[in-house]
Amino acid sequence: MNKYPAPALEKGLDILEYLSDKGIPKSQSEIAHGLNRSANEIYRMLYCLEYRGYINKSSSGKYAISLKLYNLSHRHSPIDELLKAAKPMMEELANTTKQSCHMGVLYNGQLMVVSQTPSPEPVSLSIEEGSLFPLIKTTSGRVLLAFMEEKESTRILSENHDFIHLPEEEQRVFSVQLEAIRRNGYELEKSEITIGVTDIAVPIGYAESGIFSVLAISSLTSINRKNETGEFFIECLKKTAKNIHKAIKL
């Protein structure tokens, strides 16, 4: 529960989040119905948001999100700085390992893939940028959780649907798994989402730095005979993560 409520601000944020979630223009009455509020209750807020340029009103009287939030988020984005530094190093990683690689960050309690570099090989695994995956069911998600401050990871897990519905014993096993990831500095596991795929992930940066992500290889061929333990991939991932870390001075 919010200790310091700000009703007007929350009402405005509710409107922005609702329009963003729906993705199509909505009338005042439709927005009010969607937020379980009266049309009169949101009239002034709609006017203010339109006046400030956060939403646009069409000739039909329907409202939609403008590009203002997008422009604000890109004026100074730590993620943009991270991606700019990481891209050439991820390309080198893909060429060295002959595997595609990707980078993920925490977004609304899920893992979001923010960058992907394809393998130079004719057949490889591709993960679409912007894709969302469950935290506890992915190697990258578990690595993110393992290297967060304990207080923050505990909070996230307390709100995570998948974790909450695990039996207590499985929750304890999961906590032990996170401890092992912290000790090792990486995780290598078969994918719980895609059959025949092995995922290896390492962290980049620190959660308290404001720029914290995970770098991963997802191999279609699993671990091949020349790399049965994954040591080569792990070494390459750690080296690349270290170089990215240095480049953005985390």
Task: Read off the tokens for 133.
Answer: 């995956």
Q: What are the distances in angstroms from CA 127 to CA 150, 220, 223, 230?
A: 29, 12, 19, 20
| DSSP for 56-81, written as a single string | EE-TTS-EEE-SHHHHHHTTS-HHHH
Residue 160: per-residue pLDDT: 93
Q: What are the distances in angstroms from CA 53 to CA 16, 21, 111, 147?
A: 12, 18, 30, 39
How wide is the angle at C-alpha 187 spanned by C-alphas 159 and 149, nearest 5°?
A: 45
d(CA 197, CA 102): 14
List the pLDDT tens digit at each of the 250 positions of the chain. Answer: 567 788 889 999 999 999 988 889 999 999 999 999 999 999 999 999 999 999 999 989 999 999 888 777 666 567 778 888 899 999 999 999 999 999 999 988 899 999 999 999 888 888 889 899 999 999 999 999 999 988 889 999 999 999 999 999 999 999 999 999 999 999 999 998 888 889 999 999 765 555 689 999 998 765 554 555 689 999 999 999 999 988 876 5
Please choose, from the candidates 63, 58, 43, 49, the residue with its C-alpha nearest in 3D space to the C-alpha of residue 13. Answer: 49
- Residue pair 101/94 in contact by the 8 Å Cβ criterion: yes
Q: What are the distances in angstroms from CA 192 to CA 35, 139, 152, 205, 218?
A: 36, 9, 24, 26, 12
d(CA 94, CA 57): 46
User: Which H/E stretch holds residue 157?
Assistant: helix 150-158
For 108, phi and psi rounded to 5 degrees?
A: 50, 45
